Structure 1
């Protein structure tokens, strides 16, 4: 059984600037202590990133293939190796008017993950969803000083 997570944040930052900050994965450990490390490298034509993240007293490790489309302001990823059964998703940045009619960026993170432990899914999946949501919220609040995070129920309603 897979989990779907959506996190949205708005900031009074130009969309291209928001996109470039989000694409700098190696800064994520500075934004949330549960992201231990992120290393990016080229493997032939592919851009890959190697992640180490705290989870339930242990460390989750995975390697993902990253697809960066600056023209579309879109970042997509898919796990190609690691501890999770499935992990794929991305960021989309949209120009959007925010509070008090200020121009800015809506940043939307979506992901699907499966820990690959069906018998424990009812216990572990809610924890994984909460941890991923908290980590992506911490990344947004770390990268954007004036970010406004949408409530999870509002994020789900837009799915």
Structure 2
């Protein structure tokens, strides 16, 4: 099963970054690969969100359960239904000198064993690129605020 982990330092405190990460509905405004994110249900420290992403002209859709740990400024997510057999991960914010390191992990499985060996390396690269694009978009949003 492919696993992707990307990190990026951002010149901002994690208390400034965390609210941006929690506001997933606004991701498509500054993340080019996302078509839409819709909150279906919100209760306590969880949301159920419906996602539509465009990866190289291919539309990928899924619904996920998002868990928010406000004390530790940590988000975990897990697909409940969608185009992949497995899709889960977490956002981790670690204080560093001069700001915060953002880490995004994605653990996924395509779900067709006969072609997984062929497609998983391609999908892993696409997921890594997409994940880094998300971190870069957050970095630019945080560091270019006036």
TM-score range, shorter chain: 0.7 to 0.9
Q: Structure 2: state its 5+ residue gaps.
A: none
The Cα RMSD (Å) is 1.9
Partner of 1:83: 83
Q: Deviations over 1:7-63 (max 9, x none)?
A: 001111011111122222122223333211111132666411101112454311110
Partner of 1:9: 8
**8 Å contact kept, 1:12–1:146:** no
Q: Deviations over 1:76-121 (max 9, x none)?
A: 0011111110111110101111xxxxx2001111121001011111
TM-score, normalising length: structure 2: 0.87
In 2, distance between residues paired with 1:144 and 1:42?
A: 28
- Name the stretch that deviates more: 62-71 or 122-131: 122-131
In 2, distance between residues paired with 1:24 and 1:146?
A: 13
In 2, distance between residues paired with 1:22 and 1:130?
A: 23
Partner of 2:117: 122
In 2, distance between residues paired with 1:128 and 1:31?
A: 23
Cα 1:146–1:32 shift into 2, 3 Å = closer
SS across alignment from 2:117: helix
SS across alignment from 2:99: strand
Q: List structure 1 runs of 4+ shifted beyond 4 angstroms.
A: 43-46
Q: How many residues align?
A: 141
Q: Structure 1: state its 5+ residue gaps.
A: 98-102, 148-159
